[in-house]
Structure 1
C-alpha cells in the first residue's frame, strides 16, 4: 500500500542510533505535532558504541535499537527501519545507495533529512566518517537513484517500487548551514529523546547543559530572539 499522498512525509536517514536526536529531534517533534509523518532509517545499530566493558558486545545492537525506538517516540516517531550495517565501516557504496533508494521509494517522502557529507572543521563532532558516508549515499539515493526508473531496476521489477522524486533535503552537521530551525517549544522532547540513549552517556545532566547551551548559541548566531533555541541545517532543493 502506498503512503497517503495528502500527508506530508519526511524520511530521516541517520548513521547511528542517537544521531537523529542530536541533530534534529527538536525539529522532528515540531513536524510530528504539525501532522507531518516522519520515518527514521538507521543505517547501523551503533554496535561500536557504549562505554561499559561489562556489557557483552553482542548485546549492543539490541540495546541501541530499543533506545532509539524509545527516543523516537519522544519526538512522535513510531516508524523506524534498521539496515544493520556495521558501525564504523560504512562507505557510500552502490549497495548502500540501493538500500536507501528502496526506502525512499517505499516511504515516498517530500523531504529527506540526513548528515552532511562535508567535513566541518569548525565543529568536528558531526563529521564522523559514517555520518559523511551516509550523507553522501543519501544524496545520491535522492538524486539520481530514487527518481530514475532505470536505476537499481530490481527495485521496480522485483519489488514493485516505482520511482519517486524528493523535493528537498535538509543536511545536518555540515559547514554551510543556511537555516535555523526554532526548537524552543520542543526542547524538552529533544532532551528526553537524548536521555533515552542511556547506554551512551555517563553524565546526563552535563549533556543537557551542553546541548541547551549549544542550541542557544545557534539561535543567537542566526538572529533569533534571546531565549530561543535552534537546530541548524543546510536546506537544498532537489525537485
Structure 2
C-alpha cells in the first residue's frame, strides 16, 4: 500500500451527499488531522433524496448541499465540489468520466476514495445504481483518462496536465482488504452523519445501528473490543 507519509492530497468522489460520511468520514478525519488536503467531489446534489415531498427537487438539493457542508466541517474538509448530475439517473458516461478526470487533474491527489462499482450481495445498501456508476466512472477516470494526455485533449487547453493517481480505496464492496481504526474519531464521524438530518433524522436507533456495524467491521479487522473500523478494497493504480 501507499505509505501514509506519501499521501498529501486525497480526492473523495461520491454520488450523493452523505455517501462520504457513511463510507469514509472517519478515515477522512484522520487524514485531515495529519494535515492531508481532502477534497469532496459529489456527482449529484441528492435532489431525489428524502422521505416525503415537503420540498421540490431544487429545495431538496439546496438542503442536502448545506447538510454536506456541515458534515464535511465535522471532519475537517472545506473543499466541496458538486457536478450537478441528476440524482437517481447517473450512468458511467464519457461526460462523467471527463468531469472526474478534470477534477483529478485539478486536485492532483495521490489517493482517490470512491464507491465500489460492483453490487454487494452481503450488504445491499451501498449498491445504489448511482454509487456503482460513479465508482466505475471514477476508476475509468483514474485509469486511463486522467493520466493520458491524449484523453480529453481540451483539458490540456485548460492548463490541466495529466496526473497519475497512485491508489484507490473502494467503499461499500464485498471484498474489503484494508481496515482503518477510526475509534479516536468515531464521535466526529457520527456527528457528520447526523448532519444529514433529511436522510437519517427519522431513523430510530440510527447511531446505535452505525456503531454496531463499525464494531462488527473492527472485529473482522482483528481489532480489540471497543474499537470501530471502516473498510475498503485497495486498488494499486500506479
User: How does the TM-score come out when normalised to structure 2?
Assistant: 0.95
Tell me which stretches of 4 or more aligned residues in structure 1 moved more than 4 Å.
Answer: none
Mark the runs of 5 or more structure 1 residues left unpaired by the alignment.
Answer: 1-5
2:64 alignment counterpart? 64
Report the CA distance between 1:55 and its aligned residue.
Answer: 2.3
Instruction: Output the aligned Cα RMSD.
Output: 1.2
Does the CA-based 8 Å contact 1:219-1:229 persist in structure 2?
yes
1:53 aligns with 2:53: yes
Match of 2:78 in 1: 78
Q: What is the match of residue 216 of structure 1?
A: 215
8 Å CA contact retained: 2:114, 2:168? yes
What is the number of residues matched between the two proteins? 233
CA distance in 1, matches of 2:17, 2:62: 11
Could you say which residue in structure 2 is the equivalent of 1:87?
A: 87
1:228 paired to 2:227: yes
Q: Is the 8 A contact 1:112 1:170 kept in 2?
A: yes
The aligned counterpart of 2:177 is 178
Match of 2:99 in 1: 99
Give the distance between the partners of 2:99 and 2:93, measured in 1 at CA.
Answer: 10
Could you tell me how far apart the structure 2 residues matched to 1:185 and 1:203 are? 27
- Alignment check: 8 A CA contact 2:7 2:111 kept: no
Contact 1:17–1:45 under 8 Å retained in 2: yes
Greater Cα shift, 223-232 or 104-113: 223-232
Separation in 2 of the partners of 1:68 and 1:81? 11
- Could you tell me which residue of structure 1 aligns to residue 187 of structure 2? 188
Corresponding residue for residue 3 of structure 1? none
What's the counterpart of residue 200 of structure 1?
199
C-alpha contact 1:7 1:37 (8 A) present in aligned 2: no
Matches within 5 A, 1:128-139: 128-139=128-139
